[in-house]
Structure 1
Amino acid sequence: MPVEVLKGTLQGFKTSLPNRLQKVDLKHLRLGCNCANKYFQGAVVISYPLTRLENGKAFFKIVLQESENSSSRTDTINMLLFGKLAEDSEKVVHQGDTLVVAGFSLTKSASEDGRHCCQLEMSDETGSTIYICPKSPCTAAASETVSISVAPKYTYTPLNHLKGGTVVNLYGAVKFFKPPYVSKGTDYCSVVTIVDQSDTKLVCTLFNANRDALPKIYKNGDIVRFHRIKVQEFNGQMQGVTSNGFAALTFDGTVGAPVVPRTTSKLFTFTEEDKKTVEDLRIWVASNSSNSVPAANLSSIQPQMFFDLTCQLVGKAKVDGASYLLKVWDGTKCPFPSWKVLVKEDDLEGDSVLINQLKNLTVDVVVYDNHVQLAKSLKVGNFIRMYSLHAKTQSPEGKPDVSYVQFHLHGGTGYGRGITVLPENHTDVKKLKAFLDSLDLRKYAGSEIPSAEPEDSYLTLGSCLEAYQELSVTVLTDHQHFDVTAVNTILNSRIPQQYRIRAKLRRFEPKKLHQSIKLLCPQCNLLQEVPDVTEFDTLLQASATRPNPDSQNIPFCESVVWDIESQGSRYVAVHFVTRYELLQEPEDSLIMIEGGTLRDILRLSKKFKGIIPVRSVEDNLVLLDLSVPFFWQGNIQYYGCQRCSDPKAVASLSALAVQQNASWEPTTIAEALGIVLLQYVFVMKFTLDDGTGTLDAYLVDAENFFQIPASEVLTSNIFQEDMERIMNKLCPTGRNPDGLPWLECFIKSYYVKNGREEQLSYQIFDTMIAEDV
């Protein structure tokens, strides 16, 4: 039977195995190796719940660790079970059991989790077998008792012994950090500078697609443990970056606080020796720390200072597209009159009774630019810490003798600016909650601070326009620490560089907005027009050949041939790509088509996930000429760069067909086929005017600026209407120039060759339209 629970000893069972079966170790498991006569032995360290694939097939995932010579996470491997084998195994496999598995196939791991680069795949259909040696109660108790003594032994490298090109384990104290923020890609990034007793510092740049998977650092002085961090040398300095299998633990750096690791991982080791290392670092930090930004409460702030504030959120509201209001308190009272942001009562989220009760203890913090999205996600009642908060004095217009304190969390990540939600069990949160609960709020019912006239005590839109540009119809997505530069200054500079400007849009080209959509190669920067789809029919028919019967025997496809005109004059072959030798639902299926016309492809694209036009060459299938789209998905066609691409036979898709988490997306398919994917982009010329001069800046953007995908504008009336509405807002026809809205954006200057001369040009980047435009 495929699954067998052993009643005797494992050693006795192994002596009865057929002689043809030989044990294979993890270090010998490589893609392409013959596993037909091999078996693998490992202990179950994790088993996931049984799930169902989209086709209804059962799926069960187990993580195995070698029973012998295991020392780290890299000595574990993922095992994927399918069908009835998955169902039967899920009922009898438990953590700690030892498994002997045979009849498995080996594929590339679909997970970047630091485990073995391959994964074992098994199903009853392929003759796979699993033998289970259960973990007895006495064995379980014994293993739990000695779990610390058998934990993997890790070696930690002092920071002054680091060498470039190595992957090491580290301990250190946080000297500086930036809370996680969205990088230019899709990942979150956190920058952490750590030090240790050698007085050496290391700047670490950490990336992860999941914000919560990055180290949970709350303040300078926290202790961190990094496993498998890659060290590289840059400009004579060592830097740390995340590598495959990177893992982190974080500890409160306060001497005497419980040594409890903060982590999202369910599987980690922590010994008495680790505990001593943390405590030693705490003592060293206590006698050597020097924080550049002070932590403060509201009662101790001074005008113009930057400080870290731990507080509770009692209310929040949208101010405009580039800023957001947070009403917070920490139980102490600001000693200066503070501005209140005027928002509609219906827009203010929070308990109105509590907000009114605390009105003399709360302050209004306005956060800008890249912090807005996180501010929106905060929940009223959260305990938060804001880093590098600015207490700035401002006088109402016409009243220089009156001043108020404004609280701003400026855009960017400079000086560690950001917001973090603190957990309920954090030491600082416990202290703050106890303090807030002890307050008698009745004594604060009346205002003890000189109040201003109502019209002066509120921060209305535009009152800080010059300094913070809340009314800009654009949002900056990076580099917010740049100062605004006048256009005439930029025009007088001949050195290519980057600028932040604030200007109005006088005119733009092209006026017919659909003409702004182009195709761009990300490698050679070739820019070309989007072809007219009706032109493809001639090219498709010219490339059509009678399907070769030998090309119908593709291992990862099921193929059919249709006689379209019933007289043998035109044939169409359709190859349905399978996943684990099974067909998928049409809306999830990838198909390849030979001899299809434009009408055939458009008809099939309404039903299937994606279509690849192909032709037969001898007994292989190859792509058509790249002058036509290599991939069709719905109403969108995807093109490859004819200069940079190196097309492969479609057999290259076989690796994707067996990957559990692979998706039939254009970028994935292009990579597998050796295609450099052309990007749909907006290409427009903006004439910008700030009153000191005008310059023409080009916008070359796929979707960030307009928050609209360029690939879909040509086929979507809704997106075309959105484009027209946005451009009418930015540059309305017939509007007095003084009434045009302000655009705040980044531009970079660069030289382009115009014949024998070089001409200075400008391009907009890291800027997008505000949500409410």
Structure 2
Amino acid sequence: MPVQVIDGAPETLLPSHLQKVDLKYLQWGCDQANKYFQGTVILSYPLTKLVNGTEFFKIVLQESENSCSKTSTINVLFFGRLADDCGKVVHQGDTMVVAGFNVAKSPSANEDDRHCCHLEVSEDAGSAVYIYTKPSTVTASETASMPVAPKYTYTPLNHLKGGTIVNLYGAVKFFKPPYVSKGTDYCSVVTIVDQSNVKLTCTLFNGNLDALPKIYKIGDIVRFHRIKIREYNKQMQGITGIGFASLTFDGTVGAPIVPRTSSKSYSFTEEEQKTIEELRTWAASNLSVCGPTAKLSGIQPMLFFDLTCQLVGKAEVDGSSFLLKVWDGTKCPHPSWKVLVEESDLEGDKVLIHRLRNLIVDILVYDNHVKLAKSLKVGSFLRIYSLHTKQASAENQPDVSYVEFHLHGGTCYGRGIRVLPENNPDVKELKAFMDSVNLTESQNVESMSSMELDGIFGNLSLFGRYKIHMDLLDQKTIFTYSSISQQKFVMQMDVCHNAWQEVPDGDDFDLILRDCAASAPNPEVHNSLWYDCEVWDTENQGQRKIAVHFVKHDELLQEPEDTLIMVQGGTLKEIRKLSRRFKCIIPVRSTKEDLELLDLSAPFLLQGKIWHYGCKQCSNQKTIQSLSSLAEEEPSWEPTEIARVLGIEPLQYVFVMKFTLDDGTGALDAYLFDYEKFFQIPASEVLTSSLLQEKMEMIMNILCPSGTKLDDLPWLECFIRSYNVKDGMEQQVCYQIFDTMVAEDVI
């Protein structure tokens, strides 16, 4: 019988004339008629048919005696009836003996790191196959006619050898939630230990996020099948290979043993259940299974912790950061920031967000976590790892502090986000607690821990059409705003002097505004023939007065979206709120005689999210009355026209980049200072357009792809000129890209 399934030890019932051959002596072209090869089945492929209709079955055998050698595995190909018979009874973990085989060169040896030859097994070649299983109550003939349960051998971590493919169990000592690697795959890193006290760090890749181990916390138990072991710097490492599969189990002693996996077919025996229970007990005594988890009610500034929470809202802030609004049913004991975003950009139930406003905290996630954050579904339950709380001071009250929540970029310390299923024990406990929370009581707390922007400038009616009614600001309310203008590749440039001019960030600009607000508006300049003014007092802010001057056309006020306003005494957050309603804003202050512009350290004009600055050196400022000439015309309030009548030489937004170019003979750094020609994208517009930001990212991925060798990188044809830079007594030659643009087919 060509295929025999035998209960007993290997070599039982083998013909006496057969001689065992090791892989290291296996050569193509040698006579193998009286030889046999023995190994463990570590991988099997589905039974299929060749083009000519012949049955075909492929497995991978690992030589146990020489498993530490560089190549200890070999492909075995079955044809015809042997393929059909073996495909029905062979499982991973079986010990197999193959006799009377042919040896041929393996076309995939360079790709799969297996033996340079493969074995071909068929009845025509006189082959025989012996499959050894553990003793059972059924006969060999019965076993041959029915499938047998898969049996796996698990290797303790202190018995691992480089160059092998093994099955193993371990308790999680450290892990990084899946993140996007430099290529297209997701990557997860996990360090496991077992009772041998040996640890193994595994780097796992897969294009399917769900195929990676579903690890939620330290102490979870994992089962890895067909993981490749390699030795690096005298330490063993685990990496994914063909056929890798995993199961994950809750590491809590006494918890139900339910595997987490996306696979629809897997085996799990009573013996393995015992293995998990033993690992749980050992880990509970030998691992710090309780990670740095915390409730919002227990957080302190300058803390790194893991947070289990529910997502109730999300919004894009800019290209490198994303907002998550979460709650866990408890109240943060410290005032917490609120990130200012457009209401239309916020995804989530606005009514629910308002009801939970005193329990919600805003978390900004950055860089490599943004892609995953965008994909999260509102309402899902999350575990956010290595979340950072940072203490900051209120904008105009240094003695008042609040807490910011950040998930920084990178994966250090296991930083990342995991979506938890609703059947997770921690989620069940969290949902039960949330259901018990008295939302009415939380809303009536007088000492509010977080700022409410709802209603600030929300009810804006007009005097005639422009009489202002604004909700008065509470100084206890704090927020931050990450503007896209802070992107590193966009800067303001003084084009007159071809030199850089430093411009203030939001905090510096707000200080300038608050200095101006220290002096009350002059009522003598509140109204004019070409503008109307409205003044109001703020509460709890030392009776600070804010004046808004509405510029008219033909003595008539325009629609808000067409109107230029001049604001005196407002803070940055107030001006930003107004910029959502009005087309342009000019910050001003009042003198005894008139209104005047602020120092050009501050922007002279705000248009939505774009701030326009002027050159201090080459501007020849005129009085604010110069704007009246534009008001007499049909004003479009274009920034260039406003700058012209005010005598301001505007700065321009430019792309600033450094490219390292290599033509094979050497490398040099070439700088790019470009407004819109190189990318054919205006630098100023990329600040406010997510589509242009995506276009920029696409172009940069083409020009500078990640994870490629030097020979695979694209060639760039460009014009370069040199120029001299003097630093003290030293002179340096630099290079600049000019008169070059990205081709249309790239864009």
State the TM-score, normalizing by the size of structure 1.
0.48
User: Greater relative contact order: 1 or 2 (C-alpha under 8 angstroms, separation 6 or more)?
Assistant: 1
State the TM-score, normalizing by the size of structure 2.
0.49
